[in-house]
Amino acid sequence: MLQMIKHALFAGTLSAVGALIFYLLISAATRRDIGYRPAIAAVVMPVIAFLSPHIAIVQLMMFLLVPLCARTRRDILPIFIIGLLLLPGLGKPLVVGSLYLFALNTPLLLSLGALLTMAIKPGRTTPGKWWTHIPFVIVCILVWLVAARDQTATNMLRQVLMVAMSMVPPYLVVAWLIRSAEDARRMLLAMVMAGTICSVILAFEAVRFWPIYVELVMRFDVGGALVSHLSVRGGMLRAAGPMMQSTMMAFVLCFCFLAGYLMRRSFPSLPHWLAMMAVLAVGLIAPQSRNAWLGVATGLLMLEIYRGRAARMGALVAIGAVVAGLLAVAVSSSPRLAEAVGVSGEASNTGDYRERLLRRGMEEFRKAPLFGAAPEIVNRRLEDMVQGEGIVDYVNSYLYFALFTGGLGLAVFVFGQLFELATLWFRRRRWRSEPMMLDIGAYAFGAIVMMAQMLIFTSFVGMNATMSMMCYALVAGLVACRPTVAGAASRPRRRPLEGMVMGPLPTLQR
């Protein structure tokens, strides 16, 4: 018990420090806008989780988190984001007799609590435009096809329930709650706050060589063996924080970093904003993920392309070139740094595995290029690619869908990404009269391209899949947003029908 109290104190204190840094750096108007309820949730959550004697108490807390902390509908989304990103996905299987239904985990319960709060708080929930949900439905169908392939009819129905419970509730929370640029802005601010708190936790874990949240999943026996959560590179712990996996933690932090870059107007001065970006950069460094830095660079460049800022794009490219040059010089003189950035050691072995997986995967893909093959068949053929955990680690999401759904499934998956990008690009002209909408659209555009690039080197599972689908939900919400008064007034009005067809009506005289 004393050990759990120690973990609770450290987790709560680190969360409080991260929240304090966030509130000290943002402007007073932004503090009033987002309020302090997300910070209270961020501090209380880990304390209760570590002190709970049973996982059922943690699950109940996550279900009640949004209903108890959200005073109005505008509070729901920030608190939901904080709860989603700052606690591991703890859960147990929901079993009826001997039949496994789905995983009753904390992200699902948090989402259900948020949907319940939406139903009881004053306000109107509209589904938005139906066609904006097409990419999300496509991904859900693909995930279901992979899980249900070559299964019995009963198992196929059960897989429908599993996919629906794991993917639909978080998507609906974001897609239904964003109805204005201010709603989206508060969501991104909550992501910056969560990223700041995670950065503090990750820095502490890396320096002290202490993965705090591993103790939580080990206590409730929901996370597998201890060794599966520990990874060392260059003599330093690859910190994983609440995500329990360093690459997944870095994947999530990329979206927080991109949000911090976009929220420049929410900080009182340039030094305050640069300090926040430095904190988020420390968080990105701690997991030691090369894919994350490539993703951030891609996302920032695409964001500025969407905004049409050529000078800013040139500055980003120049800064990236300088940093890459300095890093190359430093790596040549430091073997430890070379291993940390992935040039040698364990990291280079990971790169070799990705190359071998791609080569072997393409060999299997050519055997069934249109529709792919069942997971049991593919995994049996790829026994030579089994990792130390006893599984084939599909660290290329596109190869994953190509193997199990064929070229048709891969084309549909990529089509969903292109559909979202095209939707945002064609809305760009309409949003030029609304600077905040244009900025949020730029974030969504950069985030989707960043996500698409990072999925080349990581798996479409867990929080990676959740964050990817939340990008789709953001696009659906933005399309359904109401135009601001200033934006609507600045748009040119259409001419009256009679003026367009036959000119002004003649004046009749007696």
H or E segment to which residue 418 belongs: helix 397-431
Any domain includes 368:
yes
Which residues, in sequence order, are bridge partners of residue 392? 386
Both 214 and 344 in one domain: the answer is: no
Task: Tell me: pLDDT of 208 over 50.
Answer: yes
Any domain includes 502:
no
Residue 466 CA to residue 293 CA, distance in Å, equals: 20
- Per residue in 269-315, pLDDT tens? 999 999 999 999 999 999 988 899 999 999 999 999 999 877 777 77
Any domain includes 155:
yes
Both 257 and 371 in one domain: the answer is: no
Task: State the residue for tokens 């420390």.
Answer: 282
Any domain includes 410:
yes
By percentage, how much of the chain surpasses pLDDT 90? 58
Mean pLDDT of the region 176-204: 95
pLDDT of res. 319: 77
- Per residue in 387-423, pLDDT tens? 867 788 888 999 999 999 999 999 999 999 999 999 9
Q: What string of DSSP letters covers 42-101?
A: HHHHHHHHHH-SSHHHHHHHHHHHHHHH-SSGGGHHHHHHHHHHSS---EEEEEETTEEE
Distance of CA 349 to the CA centre of its chain: 27
State the total domains in the chain: 2
Per mean pLDDT, which range of 153-162, 370-379, 427-436, 489-498 is the poorest? Answer: 489-498
Both 401 and 477 in one domain: the answer is: yes
Which among 250, 266, 288 is the end of a domain? 288
Both 393 and 273 in one domain: the answer is: no
Residue 163 in tokens: 């996919």
Any domain includes 508:
no
Residue 45 CA to residue 51 CA, distance in Å, equals: 10
Both 405 and 297 in one domain: the answer is: yes
Task: Tell me: pLDDT of 242 over 80.
Answer: yes
- Per residue in 83-141, pLDDT tens? 999 998 888 888 877 777 888 888 999 999 999 999 998 777 777 888 999 999 999 99
Both 416 and 333 in one domain: the answer is: yes
Both 187 and 146 in one domain: the answer is: no
Task: State the residue for tokens 């699902």.
Answer: 108
Residue 134 CA to residue 456 CA, distance in Å, equals: 22
Where is pLDDT greater, at 475 or 332?
475
Q: Inter-axis angle of helices 246-262 and 462-479, to 10 degrees?
A: 30
Residue 323 CA to residue 50 CA, distance in Å, equals: 40
Contacts of 265 (CB under 8 A, 6+ apart): none
Both 119 and 246 in one domain: the answer is: yes
Both 282 and 374 in one domain: the answer is: no
Give the sign of the dihedral formed by CA 69, CA 72, CA 73, CA 77.
negative
Both 294 and 157 in one domain: the answer is: yes
pTM of the model: 0.90
Residue 42 in tokens: 């961020």
Both 430 and 463 in one domain: the answer is: yes
Any domain includes 367:
yes
Task: Tell me: pLDDT of 486 over 50.
Answer: no
Any domain includes 490:
no
Any domain includes 496:
no
Both 91 and 156 in one domain: the answer is: no
Domain that holds residue 136: 130-178+290-483
